[in-house]
Structure 1
Amino acid sequence: MRVLFAGTPAVALPSLEALLAAGHEIVAVLTRPDAPLGRKRVLTPSPVAARAEELGLPVIKADKVDAAAAEAIAAAAPDIAAIVAYGALVPEKALSIPTHGWINLHFSLLPAWRGAAPVQHAVINGDAVTGASAFQLEKGLDTGPVYGTMTESVRPSDTSTELLERLSHSGAVLLAQILDGIGAGRLAGVPQRGEISLAPKLTLEDGHVRWADPALAIDRRVRGVTTEPGAWTMLAGQRFKLGPVALRPDITDLGPAQLRIEAKSVLVGTGSHAVELVMVQPSGKKLMQATDWARGLANKEDVVFE
């Protein structure tokens, strides 16, 4: 089929490659405009834009599907649109431009975790299994009929970045299969059934570790916000960034936010048992081993997170 592909970050690239490998004709790629990156704020194409340009595919850059973008999409005359993490809602008037509409690859088992951050919320909430759903876009937020799903176990050590990386590849296979089936007239969408949960975009505050919470909840939160928006606590009035922690159920005598610095470990008390810090990033410094940071402290006994 003639496919419009809509996507922006690197997580969308496996789907673009899978559709090409399956023999679909990508008539245009819709992606977000170039964005300033790095300290010098250099305007840089999105990963999807850069790959599309390497492949010689026509690229439509738009921060939303406005009248100009809709006109460009219509001019490409797609049979169907495949959308993976484009980064903006598709207005109702644009949904009917492709003959078969828009098929969205969403990284959850709908109707669980509708919204912008499904993988992060799955990790934070301790889901044992998640997956991806290919569904028909409609006016509601992630409410359309589902054409197919795949499942993925959430590993105890998974960060949201690691889990999303796996889902991006297995989900790409699903998306290509769904477009094949729709093109052949073999598939029909099925209305969503089950308990609805919402996964709004995470903010910086979502990464704030509250040490009075149980250790397991802290572990899940830190992994869920890694690498974006990132986990952090406060130390001496400044933000102190944290990498994933290790659970230490053998240490139960530390109060919430209280530190114990040992020769080979840095322990922090929580609302249950301790956690061990692995990687940390003090304000104004680079990411480092927690033990390296601790060796540089003048008064180790006085350090308490806020």
Structure 2
Amino acid sequence: MRVVFMGTPAFSVPSLRALTREHEVVLVVTRPDAVRSRGKRLEPSPVKVAAEELGLPVLETSRMTPEALDALRAADADVFCVAAYGCILPEAVLTMAPLGCVNVHASLLPRWRGAAPIQRSILAGDAETGVSIMRIGQGVDTGDYCAQAATTVAGKTADELTAELAEMGGELLVEVLPAIADGTAVWAVQDESKVTHAAKIAKEELRLDPAVSALENARRVLASSDAAPARCVLAGKPARVLAAVVSDASPVPAEGQITCAGKRVLLGCADGALELVSVKPDGKRAMPATAWVAGLQGKAGSWERLS
């Protein structure tokens, strides 16, 4: 099968690699080089890097210009496969390939339509999430789906869950493409009564807060990323919390207080304690929480939400 693939971040790469094993990928479309880390240099998208390693032709565009549409027509593909491309596709693209546009979405639709389904599933305390293979329509993630695969959420970071779902999505995509091609795929219409929306994560949402539960704070840490880190003020200084878990230690520190119980560093929350595992104080390297608290020389004190 002749395939045009559209994707940009690391999540997209397993789908591209899976398609390349099973089909003829005739064109890869990705967003242009951009500043993607803390440096100021332009960097290629992970999909562009992978496509070049695989020897595939690459089209870089952030919107469907007349030139981009011409390139898509010239590819003469049977199907367009999309995984986190990051561009709204016009009707001309959706109907160009005989088999249409098929998307790998990182949730069990209709739950978590939108930009941040993985982080939202963590923050909401979902027992499971997964991937859906869906048709792309005019609405955001509103299309019918023909296959889903699930995995558990608890205890996994956003990065871990993203990597797992990326692999699942790629394998599921190549598994169902033959059925899509021969018309035997069974498409399910999304139940609008069960829809939830996964809005982009704002940095403020992941700030840790002694006034909320230890579990809520732990979920914010799991859902955090370089783009939206879990941060707070520890002993008067801003810091990023890299890893933390709900603690069953006793006695529980008072809300907003920091205590040490053996080698455990505990933050008092509204209903219990959050145990710090690793932190990165602003301007310093990442370190185990025990090393951080040792540097305070017994003056741990209190913690608070970053304003």
Q: TM class, shorter-chain normalised?
A: over 0.9
| Counterpart residue identity of residue 189, structure 1 | W
> Partner residue of 1:175?
173
Deviation at 1:146?
A: 0.6
From 159, 162, 187, give the equivalent of 2:160.
Answer: 162
1:35-92, CA deviations, whole angstroms, 9 ceiling, x for partnerless residues?
1355552222111101111222111101223333222212212211111111222223
Greater CA deviation, 227-236 or 157-166? 227-236
Instruction: Report SS of the residue matched to 1:245.
Output: strand
Q: In 2, distance between residues paired with 1:123 and 1:264?
A: 28
| Counterpart residue identity of residue 74, structure 1 | R
Deviation at 1:97?
A: 1.7
* Gap change, CA 1:40 and 1:273, over 3 Å in 2: closer
Instruction: Report SS of the residue matched to 1:119.
Output: helix
CA RMSD, Structure 1 to Structure 2 (Å) = 1.9
* Gap change, CA 1:61 and 1:168, over 3 Å in 2: same
Q: In 2, distance between residues paired with 1:162 and 1:130?
A: 13
> Partner residue of 2:12?
12
Deviation at 1:180?
A: 1.6
1:100-146, CA deviations, whole angstroms, 9 ceiling, x for partnerless residues?
21111001110000001111111111111111100000000100011
Asked if the contact 1:84–1:104 (Cα under 8 Å) also holds between the matched residues in 2, the reply is yes
Asked if the contact 1:206–1:225 (Cα under 8 Å) also holds between the matched residues in 2, the reply is no
> Partner residue of 1:230?
229
Q: In 2, distance between residues paired with 1:39 and 1:254?
A: 36
| Counterpart residue identity of residue 6, structure 2 | A
Q: In 2, distance between residues paired with 1:297 and 1:149?
A: 49
> Partner residue of 1:196?
195
For 1:113-262, list aligned pairs within 5 A: 113-154=112-153, 156-193=154-191, 195-226=194-225, 228-235=227-234, 239-251=238-250, 253-262=252-261
| Counterpart residue identity of residue 156, structure 2 | D
> Partner residue of 2:29?
30
Q: In 2, distance between residues paired with 1:37 and 1:221?
A: 23
Instruction: Report SS of the residue matched to 2:194.
Output: coil
Instruction: Report SS of the residue matched to 1:206.
Output: helix
1:168-209, CA deviations, whole angstroms, 9 ceiling, x for partnerless residues?
112211111221211222214221125110101112112111
Which blocks of at least 5 consecutive residues in structure 2 are unaligned?
none
TM-score relative to the length of structure 2: 0.93
> Partner residue of 2:82?
83
> Partner residue of 1:64?
63
Q: In 2, distance between residues paired with 1:129 and 1:38?
A: 30
Q: In 2, distance between residues paired with 1:77 and 1:200?
A: 35
Greater CA deviation, 58-67 or 98-107? 58-67
Q: In 2, distance between residues paired with 1:213 and 1:93?
A: 48
Asked if the contact 2:233–2:303 (Cα under 8 Å) also holds between the matched residues in 1, the reply is no
TM-score relative to the length of structure 1: 0.93
| Counterpart residue identity of residue 266, structure 2 | L
Greater CA deviation, 200-209 or 60-69? 60-69
